[in-house]
Chains A and B, each alone.
Chain A
């Protein structure tokens, strides 16, 4: 039983860094970031982006690594136990349950989206799409999702089988454990992801002007679209909030996943340098590679105006509609192969994140209920497989979007604010600072002591307040909801409430059991 047995450990430091970087590098690095940059001032967006990387991203990384390793000393691999040792209050563990709620809720729908990337990589190599238009590719995607039917897909079953395969791979990795499963996956998937992304970026750099009949549609103009700075945008507070939001999402903070990984460190293992290395790796994937693929090639193929329209349509539109049209075009030689690489790199980005989302609940069941890893993973797999049915079959009714808003957007900033206040104010800034620097291969500059104590929570409060007014209230009161979707949106809310209540009851039971044992 894990309550008394040895806790697992990471095999190597580089393996841990790749696993945490894999958690951070996700679909958003390649799809969300370039759209955000292009829409919010181009090169000028990078000014607030880097400022928030320093004041929000890196500090939160260190805070989460610190809370995680501290919790691991007390044999806690999930947020309820970690918060309980930070704050000697009966409520602490229930705040920590939010970390479990967020990670399992995102896992439910994220893994389904991840399965689309696996599916599209197979469709690419099989040449299932070629010479498509935006209309036919939109129809291809919606028929694959079971929303409509087309000549290629007459039912949802291909998507369903690929979902099962993706879940099987995820749970097999979790089943194998920290070192033999998650670390091994990261050591294979992360280098491949970077190799594929570099090859794609080089190919796109060298595309020039794919159709000489339209000389203005070029890769150089695509880079200009992302990077030419519009300094007037800096006077708009929305740009600053967009930059803070992007930094927040890209590092996968506020989910309880980094804590879980860091809990398997030894008390004197470094976290200062590891946190910096993982944040830097994520930025390399996002700013250097993510900005060099989808948007530049979209401008080269569709032109500036159409790309602006595509960017307005969101990340899925860019990734699953526009990119396949480009790879299926006669102006993109070996498009099947490059399409395969594009979707496989998205799959690697997805799976290294989704296994991280499964780990907090697995650690919770192991550490607080004494379950074996195999039993814990089986329990998680059954729960997630039941819940994902609603996401798959009610996709067109906004079920996934509702879960994504409350767990994957608003919930993250709430959890990040709670953990920052608990660590830097309740546990104490001096103790927290000592914890983060213990065993460090670098000394965190003292400037960050004040940043973590004052500036990071302040930015989080502003972000939370802004999103609450701008989107949480309208979403809560269904102001923009399609009437037909309303019952399903309430269904999604009921599912999330049920997950939250069950997790709270489990936390209560675990603490009741453990106290009676002591």
Chain B
């Protein structure tokens, strides 16, 4: 079984969505925590 282009695209998309969610939400958490 070889890693297909579709497989790589799915992995990359899933990782990008999740890492973006983590970065954005924690950025906001730290930003608001500093304000308070």
Contact = CB atoms under 8 A, between A and B. Distances in A.
Contacts of A50: 14, 17
B19 A273 contact: no
Given A46-B14, A281-B22, A288-B15, A221 B1 contact: yes
Q: Which of A44, A228, A270 has the most CB of B within 10 A?
A: A228
Contacts of B3: 220-221, 223-224, 227-228
Given A14-B29, A276-B21, A281-B22, A304 B7 contact: no
Interface in B1-36: 1-4, 6-11, 13-15, 17-19, 21-22, 25-26, 28-30, 32-33
A274 B29 contact: yes
Contacts of A12: 33
A441 B30 CA distance: 11
Contact of B22 (A221, A280, A442): A280
Contact of B19 (A14, A43, A220, A288): A288
B18 A283 contact: yes
What size tier do the contact residues of chain A reach?
20 to 34
A81 interface: no
A227 B28 contact: no
A13 B7 contact: no
B17 to A, nearest CB: 7
A277 B25 contact: yes
Interface in A267-319: 270, 273-274, 276-277, 280-281, 283-284, 287-288, 304
A277 B30 CA distance: 11
Interface string A213-226: 00010001101110
Given A280-B18, A284-B18, A227 B32 contact: no
Which are the 7 A-B pairs with shortest beta-carbon distances? A43-B10, A228-B7, A277-B25, A280-B21, A224-B3, A227-B7, A441-B32
Given A224-B3, A229-B10, A287-B18, 11 more contacts: A42-B7, A43-B6, A44-B10, A221-B2, A224-B2, A224-B7, A277-B22, A277-B25, A277-B29, A284-B19, A287-B14
28 contacts: A42-B7, A42-B10, A43-B10, A43-B11, A44-B10, A46-B13, A50-B17, A216-B1, A220-B2, A221-B2, A223-B7, A224-B1, A224-B2, A224-B3, A225-B1, A228-B1, A229-B7, A273-B28, A273-B29, A276-B25, A277-B25, A277-B26, A277-B29, A284-B18, A284-B19, A284-B22, A287-B15, A441-B28
